[in-house]
Structure 1
């Protein structure tokens, strides 16, 4: 790293919701959410140009300009999706998951020039002199399918070179990937030098496959992980007893996942532990995990996350989950 990042803190602020993810929220509500997180001591804030096509960055920048005049916050944003003008867009409709007044849409572009322009535009929207962490957004087969090899080559030969230059010049402190899959993280660690990985949904109370390859490789390389999507798209937040089919991996959960979550939920309930508390706290037990990033779209969600991450969980709860085969034997658990 070209500059020390400092402690990210166990709980980070995911700013997709203030970019109007799935639904519009008023600007004053977005301001209030960031303010509550700041007052609660959260100092790491993650956003992206894709979130509301610039709206999330604008709202986060406006809030932090008032709350953080000294620039103490650690801010991450992403590159790899350029914002193309769409003056004809229906601004009242959901577009790429967002209901946003910004007349743009995001288009994948991992080229050198696109990454440099994206960084410069993010600085302006965020109203900051620097961005601390820069992630390449959604590289990998999860997003690109059969086109992944071409996209990955485009990134390694272009966008990654730009990110390296930004880090080497001191313009950013750390670079990495912000993705939904472990395989591309392993691929990237074999292709270049990165500092951080933001991994969404793949190392959770429900999924621990990264213990096989990715996490040992990160330990060997000194790479930290930030775990986004700790609720696996909602199923670990809502559980399976609501009478509706919860989401898993952005889609309705299959029967096998519902059954597994039900078994986890039953054991947690026997120990008086809310399922989302166990979900938030579990990833943090691994020494390579620096922070977890749940989405926060309201003051109530901020307060709930704060309560959940500090909720006492008896050691026997983790022991029972392990004995039932619901946590891998080699998975660290909170103590």
Structure 2
């Protein structure tokens, strides 16, 4: 198979050059519905064959399953892609009949223990290397710290762990050359702003908050990323499915006002003969802080559909029309100017 020629963007001030399209490893681990292991491996292998050079995974995804599957494929790859995984959850063995599986179908027999401490982050990193079967990864994200996951009060002691020792562990790993970049992997931009108060970060994996449907992260977060020379990977470009014909937004049934906004955006896309998912997939890259868009296909066929949307040329007038109709937040970068 002939690899495509993807644009690459540099991750912050590192030497990592990331293809603007990546592969997210959550869906491969069977969230909400099962994904056979052979299908998951085939999807990851197909992504690398077509030229995608960035794969993200995490201990949480399938409670270890995603890291095992991704590692099997990556170990065979030459050259190796850029790999990111996450810290903040340690996996502890548990009997399957007592396990909290969450939304994972057939996860490995582990429960999650949140730990953002100095020792916890170092242990999480070592455990991930064991599951991946790799000697290193390139990027470490602090996973799901913040009020969205833990609640305001519940997050306070966990944030104290990160502030008092966890961040230092990450800095030591990066500054010593063990990993090349550190950041947060979250669904809320506000905690990323808090993180800037701890020190410097390289890249944030932000899901759902800077999409064609929602630009709440635009300011002050994205503007601060430019000022602090940090990059952004945009996860969840389809907002949990609402931008690919589904009815789910932020992992729940979409409210009427969100559905109405999607229909208005879709009408503009139809006027330019552009499928809504194609516009959703390509939109985040109009922002100069964004280095990658990270969808999560479940099969090689789904990945091929994403590639078809990726190849569609979107006229600049589509973005300016969305801006003129008030469907993009003021100040949103678009070709030729801002909304």
How much is the aligned-residue C-alpha RMSD, in angstroms? 1.8
- Structure 1: stretches of 5+ with no match in the other structure: 240-245
Q: Is 2:113 aligned against 1:107?
A: yes
Contact 2:231 2:289 in 1 (8 A): yes
Instruction: Give the equivalent residue in structure 2 for 1:6.
Output: 16
Deviation at 1:136, TM superposition (A): 0.3
2:233 to 215, 218, 226: 226
Q: Is 2:43 aligned against 1:33?
A: yes
Q: Is 2:279 aligned against 1:271?
A: no
SS at structure 1 position matched to 2:62: coil
Instruction: Give the equivalent residue in structure 1 for 2:81.
Output: 73
Deviation at 1:88, TM superposition (A): 3.9
Q: Distance between the aligned counterparts of 1:119 and 1:18, measured in 2?
A: 21
Contact 2:31 2:104 in 1 (8 A): yes
Q: How many matched pairs? A: 325
User: Runs ≥4 in structure 1, deviation > 6 angstroms?
Assistant: none
Instruction: Give the equivalent residue in structure 2 for 1:190.
Output: 197
1:19 to 29, 32, 40: 29
User: What TM-score do the two structures reach when normalised by structure 2?
Assistant: 0.92
User: What TM-score do the two structures reach when normalised by structure 1?
Assistant: 0.93
1:24-67 deviations in whole A, cap 9, x for unaligned?
Answer: 22221111101110111001000000001111000000011122
Q: Distance between the aligned counterparts of 1:256 and 1:127, measured in 2?
A: 46
1:112-149 deviations in whole A, cap 9, x for unaligned?
Answer: 11111110111111121111000000011111112222
Q: Is 2:137 aligned against 1:131?
A: yes
Change (3 A) 1:2 1:232: closer
Contact 1:47 1:76 in 2 (8 A): yes
Contact 1:2 1:168 in 2 (8 A): no
Contact 1:233 1:249 in 2 (8 A): yes
- Structure 2: stretches of 5+ with no match in the other structure: 1-10
Q: Distance between the aligned counterparts of 1:160 and 1:19, measured in 2?
A: 28
2:92 to 84, 92, 96: 84
1:57-98 deviations in whole A, cap 9, x for unaligned?
Answer: 000000111223x4x31000000011011124378xx81211
